[in-house]
Amino acid sequence: MSQPTELNIEHVARLARLRLTAEEEERFGRQLGEVLHHIEQLAKVDIDHVEPAAHAFPIFNIWAEDASQPALSVERALRNAPAQRDQMVVVPKVVD
């Protein structure tokens, strides 16, 4: 595919703050032209009867039901705490 006449790769490179060699400009210009060609092909696809979707396939709730369950006892939760007071873990003060 040839590079479109309206595609100014020097301007695109300048906007991206890239310094390209002449060879890179030619190669990237050709590649960008091919990408734009594919976008033109996609624009021709009839999507009038296609409903918008957030996902390509149906998504179902995969989370477990939020149900109350037995928890750790206070003694067991504090068993490995380096320091404790009034059924809480004691930590060093980090904010003045």
Model confidence pLDDT, tens digit, residues 60-72: 877 888 889 899 9
Beta bridge partners of 84: 89
- Taking the whole predicted model, whether its pTM rises above 0.75 is answered as no
Closest CA to 37 of 68, 4, 86, 77: 4
Looking up tokens 């790769």 gives 9
CB 32 within 8 A of CB 7: yes
Determine how many CB atoms are found less than 10 A away from the CB of residue 29: 20
Tens-place pLDDT, residues 1-44: 444 557 889 998 999 999 999 999 999 999 998 999 999 999 99
- DSSP string for the chain: -PPPTT--HHHHHHHTT----HHHHHHHHHHHHHHHHHHHHHHTS--TTPPP-SSSS-----SPP--------HHHHTTT-SSEETTEE-------
The domains of the chain are located at 9-43
